A and B are shown apart, each in its own frame.
Chain A
């Protein structure tokens, strides 16, 4: 296979995976897909043998010196090979995401009787499924009868399962007769619907039909794969399961917890039930420091230990908001089927035990190479701890060894706490900040140095090559050593996709360079797709993982875009070069000083006009011989620097600008500048840190050499930390609209045209145009116009899909015990009501940043027509500053009670800065002035096709400086009431003072998160609280006549630290009261249902929940129910 064919095969394999992600087929197609892959593969191989075995003609020999003539056999071979690759990719992904079920047998029932057809026997003890193979028109009842080989572990004196001397779990086996409960397949069951049987079987002897349906029906009995996900459940108070397995990766040790990845061998799903062998997937187990023998788990030695753990096995939740992090998908990508958080009982046995094989003095160890790598890593950490002070040591650990968890709570160098540490900062910065170093890196766009990737691996490769060359070792000898070192490095740093990619690529480069004499560039072009194929073969879900795409995006951008940018910029010489510098300076000023201006059309029109004018002036001056720079340009810079600058443009345009907003809704604009210094500097810091770590291990003099190197490196790494600190202060980390897949497709199409414009122009477009007749030119022009129109039409369709015109769309976001409601009106005005909470304990979380702004930018909205803060309580207003910094706000509305909050920093500073008195914001249209409103004031009013749109305040009464702002949203015949944080007294006043027609609404948000009345409590819940709720909240809800009640609820602990238990109880009472008062009304809550979305066309409306969309409502039993065995 030639190089180009191999490269194309790899890329088409990825295309196949992409297609499977967009249009996945069911598990039943898998045998066909694998069959097709094998068949196509065989045909392709045969075609290869045929094409390459026959002698080459003279024309073909000559084709090596020019473009090959078209050959139908070659074309057919290409098509076959690419088709094989795509089908292979498709099949691999489907196999990865689906647990293939094995057909145990089929039961066909007709008037004549029943026929059982055997499939494959049950391979191991497993739960079974019954699946309808034809539509069921009449109820079918049946029972499975068989046997169960129940495994019960041999316990030691402490009741802990044991391992035999060979390291296998010791079991006693009982063979028991087994039969299922009565299985009812109701009439109306459609084809392919499945019913999971609660009882496990090892052998199925017969299927007993309990009734005789009049019509023919066919059902299959299937054996599902025993993956961890099959046993995981969602919800609260789940029945605990027991797990026998081993720790299969290095534990992640945090300051407050340790996370273990356990590969289960057996799971006991039902209490006192049999242990079932597990086929695949891992469990993520979290333990806290109170766990007995915690220190044995919170260290690298724990890798490989056999463990017995008991706890609730939970499936990860899907995202509870649109555009939010989907933990379920994330964990599935990493082959994790469930999570356990082990609770330490006040008395009784520990929930986790390390188990040793019988007769052994120590627990079993893991893979020798991994053990060695982890030992080496711990030794290097020990050296770092002795030679580099905090916070630099955390940075060195993350940079050199991928220890990112050590950086998680490391605050900025500018934090005052370092003044009191044993080694205070070398340079006092003076400006205190609580920001973490990792956040500073994120904001300044240099966070990538913490993700061990190509940069690190290349630096280490070069470092080792340099050392071996200094020692005059032949490359044929040292190449294997470096490849081994890179493998160890990958293991040490956690073998993330970006690291694996880099290690595979660098190893390929080293091997082809060392033994085949290949050049660096040709190795890179081959290495990228081969590395991708190797990673995706093992885990195809990685194809859309940010660490994979960003890593490959970076290397492809470097390989493909650096040269075109260099060619472009080197044409700009003399005055033109000066114009380029001026334009970049203007852009930089815009980025740093006024981001909201940069994202307006008016800025880009001004910028374009300025560019044209300056280039015209440049030409004019050049023609008159005024050239103060002479012919100086990019090409005059040293090649390394010029190439590096061009590469930075390539990275930003090819990877950061499109993919960073796609994954994170943000683009670290500072990165374009900070990396110019940071990347060369990180080469120094990484090499010195790595050398110090390795030398420090040498007994005797090693630690002194490490100390000297680290002392020098301390200065360099302070420089690096300062880059992160200052660039994060000078630039903002702006939110950006999330491009859709269609947008990315168009964008990368344009980028590809830019990258390959030369061959496209000279080989395709120009010759075709020159040789074309007039009529053909017309056809070309029309085709081009058609493509342009298609792109515009596609874009319009995308916008319409995101924000359908004529629809009122309201999202009550799931932001815990707080409020954030986003309204997208039928005429596409964006209104945000409340800004959610900032939680600081136990971890720092800003919901405005994490949930609200991504939600808005996911709809490609860049401006809020109105922002409303209904109450000064932090659960409504704490995110105000973040929202202001994240998006342009046209108007700000608030009740009188919020006015004092607006006078406090940091909001006061932002409002002063954005004051209409400032010319800068008046000109850019980004000024904002707060407006206090009361009942009767209009927030937004419009009309869509004759239907009125009205967002108005219905409370508090004018002059009330305490009550929150209550809002009513109306579109045509639909209305929704948002009362905000009304307490009991305010609810009474609101009901008394509001006209009844303004209270009427189809959808109402429960006041005060469903915990009104908590303000009346000092200690303990009063017995009459249900009655109080019925007497006060009841009439208000009844007056609305609502058909749906929404509760904005979550963990109340951060808002009500003293009364959080009472808040939970009141919430439960309020939900029940709502059900009693409005029987038949939909009763949903953001804690159990995720975000609640309401959509209306002005006549009808539809309420749906985020978790019902993703199919993971909390408290819903997932795959298995507990049952007898």
Chain B
């Protein structure tokens, strides 16, 4: 069990080092880091890529989520196609 604990510690240290390297060299992670550091995490490209993923979970200080009522595709399609008919 002690060996397992040591392995986890090594994995953690390696992951953090690897993460630092990726954050330094990957532009999107770098921008995410800077956005968090500036106190504007909502400007982070990572946060933006997740806007539609569990949209009800927002950042502190952001306005509460409001659902976007979906447009009925069929209705739009049928109206446009009906209009195109002679």
Contacts and interface: CB of A to CB of B under 8 A. Distances in A.
B56 A711 contact: no
A245 B26 CA distance: 51
A1079 to B, nearest CB: 38
A707 B33 contact: yes
Contact of B16 (A256, A390, A709, A841): A709
Interface string B31-67: 0110010000100111111101110110100001111
Contacts of A1058: 78, 81-82
Contact of B53 (A390, A467, A1057): A390
A58 interface: no
Range class of the A interface residue count: 35 or more
B18 A289 contact: no
B8 A467 contact: yes
A727 to B, nearest CB: 25
A910 interface: no
Contacts of A993: none
Given A289-B70, A422-B46, A462-B4, A712 B18 contact: yes
Central interface residue in B7, B11, B54, B85, by most chain A CB within 10 Å:
B54
A463 B59 CA distance: 28
Given A406-B53, A1058-B82, A707 B23 contact: yes
A1057 B54 contact: no
B45 A389 contact: yes
A1019 B82 contact: yes
Nearest to B35: A386
A294 B70 CA distance: 13
B46 to A, nearest CB: 5
Interface string B8-32: 1101101110111011001011001
Contacts of A386: 32, 36, 41, 44, 46-47, 59
A650 interface: no
A253 B57 CA distance: 11
Nearest to A290: B69
Contacts of B12: 691, 709
A421 interface: yes
Interface string A372-404: 000000100110111111100110010000010
A697 to B, nearest CB: 12
Central interface residue in A386, A394, A426, A684, by most chain B CB within 10 Å:
A386
A1022 B67 CA distance: 41
Interface in A694-725: 703-705, 707-715
A462 B50 CA distance: 30
B47 to A, nearest CB: 6
Contacts of B45: 389, 422-423
B32 A707 contact: yes
Contact of A389 (B4, B15, B46): B46
B54 A397 contact: yes
B19 A709 contact: yes
B22 to A, nearest CB: 4
B54 A253 contact: yes
Contacts of B46: 385-389, 422-423
A1053 interface: yes
Contacts of B44: 386
B1 A465 contact: yes
Interface string B64-86: 11111110011001100110010
B36 A1018 contact: no
A423 B45 CA distance: 6
Nearest to A291: B67
A378 B23 CA distance: 25
A704 B53 contact: no
Interface in A295-319: 295, 298-299
A712 B22 CA distance: 7
A463 B8 contact: yes
Contacts of A516: none
A397 B73 CA distance: 30
A384 B54 CA distance: 11
B15 A713 contact: yes
A382 B2 contact: no
A227 interface: no
A466 B22 CA distance: 26
B53 A687 contact: no
A691 B82 CA distance: 56
A1057 B74 contact: yes
Contacts of B41: 386, 703
Nearest to A513: B1
Which 7 A/B pairs are nearest by Cβ-Cβ distance?
A708-B19, A289-B67, A466-B8, A422-B45, A469-B5, A711-B19, A711-B22
Interface of A: 253, 255-256, 289-290, 294-295, 298-299, 378, 381-382, 384-390, 393-394, 397, 403, 406, 421-423, 426, 462-463, 465-467, 469-470, 684, 687-688, 691, 703-705, 707-715, 841-842, 1018-1019, 1053, 1057-1058
Interface of B: 1-2, 4-9, 11-12, 14-16, 18-20, 22-23, 26, 28-29, 32-33, 36, 41, 44-50, 52-54, 56-57, 59, 64-70, 73-74, 77-78, 81-82, 85
24 contacts: A381-B57, A382-B59, A384-B50, A390-B49, A390-B50, A390-B53, A397-B53, A403-B54, A422-B45, A462-B4, A466-B4, A466-B7, A467-B5, A687-B8, A705-B16, A708-B15, A709-B12, A709-B16, A711-B26, A712-B16, A714-B22, A1053-B74, A1057-B78, A1058-B82
Given A381-B54, A704-B36, 19 more contacts: A294-B67, A295-B65, A298-B56, A385-B47, A385-B54, A386-B47, A389-B50, A393-B50, A394-B53, A406-B53, A422-B49, A465-B4, A465-B5, A707-B19, A708-B23, A709-B15, A712-B14, A1058-B78, A1058-B82
